[in-house]
């Protein structure tokens, strides 16, 4: 008989926030996955005395004492990462169950994804009979930046942050670790879900909805397994935390490729579109959008009013942003006269107070500070998009400081997105803004699109007043 099940959040805590980790199939050979996982755990910063390599043929791996079986570990084991071949998986899972291991992350491939559906079903049955939960099989592992646990064969831990990234493609997950490091995108967790034999997307949404370290959830999916449960959970969770999903397999050939990659049922894309909308999931179409939007949703409040004000020092950037506003359904209107009059103080006579507010290339720190503060404090304004083209008149860092000062001074709950267009200095200032929780992007369209995501969320939550 199956043991009674506690809440999903409690069941999954040992998977994502374990105190102790056993690596079953820890290898002595550097080229093996079982070696990489132990090394990653150590290099990631997980405490050495809480890592237990399991290998019946080794006394020691990477300087850590190795145990012949998980049953020999002298302490409680929260998480067992399994990297032995499929043929011995049942034996080691039984050992884990007898030991009282709480959760299993199974890297081993060779189950449902290659047609061994019945074996996978028996595996889940076995795991559940001991009251354990199983992530996978066929995964790259789990990266938890909260406790610095890299229980995966990803090349490194992603930078710490507040976005949980759940990916159905392991390889994409691995590749994106390098990318998140380069782009300085912080994650709370990176979870490769593999075959979703036991733990599925709905369970993960539930866990991250309750995780205090996660403010937005990013999903890469090719298909969902139990659609009804997934979308019902998403509808509930998206009321608490934003969810952005990149669903691949939109085209006919793409859907066929997804079916052979993860066995995902190639559901009609339009059905997914409608289900995403109804359940409050914001759909992204590119990797940039997935993370751009999560960064904005994790750091900015949803808007309460429609009118958006664009503040810029470049006419061209303003025009591009205006077009993008039309694409994303954002309301750009002429500001009321009293607001225009205040804006005039921050620009030369040849500036523009029609929206976009063009401070012109003459704008420096004070003009940005004044215009952004004015926009944020005016009751007509719902949200502010700030654009800056790097000129010789001022430095990007000065403008970044002006924007931050204006936001702090305004003391209002309105969203701001920013674009800094330029070279290395603009990039550094952009990073500085992000570190201070202001989403900044390299192009105007991306700043507008991120604002579009904030409006979509506000609409879903019914927050917009006309």
What is the contact surface with ligand COA in residues (CB under 6 A)? 24-25, 27-29, 32-34, 54-58, 83-85, 88, 92, 107-110, 138-140, 170-171
Alpha helices in 117-213, H assignment, sequence order: 117-129, 170-183, 201-210
Comparison of 62 and 386: residue with beta carbon closer to ligand COA: 62
Comparison of 83 and 209: residue with beta carbon closer to ligand COA: 83
The least CB distance from residue 263 to ligand COA, in Å, is 13
The least CB distance from residue 32 to ligand COA, in Å, is 4
Comparison of 74 and 462: residue with beta carbon closer to ligand COA: 74
Tell me phi and psi for residue 21, to 5 degrees.
-135, 125
Contacts of 369 (CB under 8 A, 6+ apart): 402, 403, 405, 406
C-alpha–C-alpha distance, residues 294 and 446, integer Å: 12
Comparison of 168 and 233: residue with beta carbon closer to ligand COA: 168
DSSP label of 367 = H
The least CB distance from residue 47 to ligand COA, in Å, is 22
**What order do you get walking across the sheet with 308-312 strand by strand?**
357-358, 308-312, 383-389, 416-421, 440-441
The least CB distance from residue 138 to ligand COA, in Å, is 5
The least CB distance from residue 56 to ligand COA, in Å, is 5
Residue 321, both tokens: 């942003």
The least CB distance from residue 162 to ligand COA, in Å, is 25
User: Residue 223 in contact with residue 267, Cβ under 8 Å?
Assistant: yes
User: Residue 190 in contact with residue 173, Cβ under 8 Å?
Assistant: yes
Comparison of 62 and 381: residue with beta carbon closer to ligand COA: 62
Q: Burial level of 285, CB count in 10 A (0-12/13-18/19+)?
A: exposed
Alpha helices in 302-393, H assignment, sequence order: 315-327, 337-344, 365-377
The SS3 of residue 423 is coil
Comparison of 29 and 411: residue with beta carbon closer to ligand COA: 29
Comparison of 192 and 299: residue with beta carbon closer to ligand COA: 192
Cross-strand bridge partners of residue 149: 144
User: Residue 105 in contact with residue 81, Cβ under 8 Å?
Assistant: yes
Comparison of 84 and 149: residue with beta carbon closer to ligand COA: 84
Residue nearest to ligand COA (CB): 170
DSSP label of 48 = G
Comparison of 108 and 180: residue with beta carbon closer to ligand COA: 108
The least CB distance from residue 73 to ligand COA, in Å, is 12
DSSP label of 330 = -
Comparison of 30 and 462: residue with beta carbon closer to ligand COA: 30
C-alpha–C-alpha distance, residues 448 and 321, integer Å: 6
Q: What angle do CA 279, 280, 285 make, to 5 degrees?
A: 110
The least CB distance from residue 109 to ligand COA, in Å, is 4
The least CB distance from residue 453 to ligand COA, in Å, is 29
DSSP 52-108: EEE-TT-SEETTEEPBSSGGG-SS--SEEEE-S-GGGHHHHHHHHHHHT--EEEE--
The least CB distance from residue 166 to ligand COA, in Å, is 14
């Amino acid at each position: 008989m199956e043991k009674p099940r506690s809440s999903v959040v409690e069941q999954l805590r040992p998977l994502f926030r374990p105190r102790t980790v056993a690596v079953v199939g820890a290898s002595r050979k550097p080229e093996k996955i079982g070696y990489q996982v132990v090394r990653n755990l150590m290099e990631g910063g997980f405490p050495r005395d809480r890592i237990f390599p399991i290998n019946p043929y080794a006394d020691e791996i990477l300087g850590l004492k190795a145990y012949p079986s998980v049953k020999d570990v002298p302490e409680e084991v929260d998480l067992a990462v399994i990297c032995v071949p499929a043929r011995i998986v049942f034996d080691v899972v039984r050992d884990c169950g007898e030991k009282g291991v709480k959760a299993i992350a199974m890297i081993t491939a060779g189950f449902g994804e290659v047609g061994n559906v019945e074996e996978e079903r028996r595996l889940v049955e076995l795991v559940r009979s001991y009251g354990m939960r199983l992530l996978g099989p066929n995964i790259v592992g789990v990266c938890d930046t909260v406790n610095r646990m890299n229980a995966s064969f990803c090349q490194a831990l992603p930078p710490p942050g507040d976005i949980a990234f759940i990916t159905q493609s392991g390889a994409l997950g691995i590749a994106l670790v390098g990318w998140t490091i380069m782009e300085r995108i912080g994650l709370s967790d990176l979870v490769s879900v593999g075959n979703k034999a036991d733990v599925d997307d709905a369970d993960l949404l539930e866990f991250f909805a309750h995780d205090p370290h996660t403010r937005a959830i990013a999903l890469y999916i090719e298909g969902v397994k139990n659609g009804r449960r997934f979308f019902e959970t998403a509808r509930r969770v998206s009321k608490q935390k934003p969810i952005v999903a990149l669903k691949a397999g939109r085209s006919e050939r793409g859907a066929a490729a997804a079916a052979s990659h993860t066995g995902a049922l190639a559901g009609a894309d339009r059905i997914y579109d409608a289900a995403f909308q109804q359940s409050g999931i914001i759909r992204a179409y590119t990797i940039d959008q997935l993370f751009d939007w999560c960064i904005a949703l994790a750091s900015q409040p949803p808007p309460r009013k429609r009118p958006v004000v664009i503040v810029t020092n470049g006419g061209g950037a303003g025009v591009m942003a205006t077009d993008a506003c039309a694409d994303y359904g954002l309301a750009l209107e002429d500001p009321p006269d009293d607001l225009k009059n205040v804006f005039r103080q921050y620009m030369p006579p040849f500036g523009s107070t029609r929206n976009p507010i063009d401070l012109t290339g003459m704008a420096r720190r004070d003009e940005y500070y004044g215009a952004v503060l004015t926009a944020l404090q005016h009751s007509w304004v719902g949200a502010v998009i700030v654009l800056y083209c790097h000129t010789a008149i001022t430095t990007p860092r000065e403008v970044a400081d002006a924007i931050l000062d204006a936001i702090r001074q305004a003391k209002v709950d309105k969203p701001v997105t920013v674009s800094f267009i330029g070279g290395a200095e603009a990039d550094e200032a952009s990073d500085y803004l992000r570190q201070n929780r202001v989403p900044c992007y390299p192009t105007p369209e991306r700043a507008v699109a991120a604002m579009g995501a904030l409006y979509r969320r506000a609409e879903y939550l019914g927050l917009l007043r006309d």
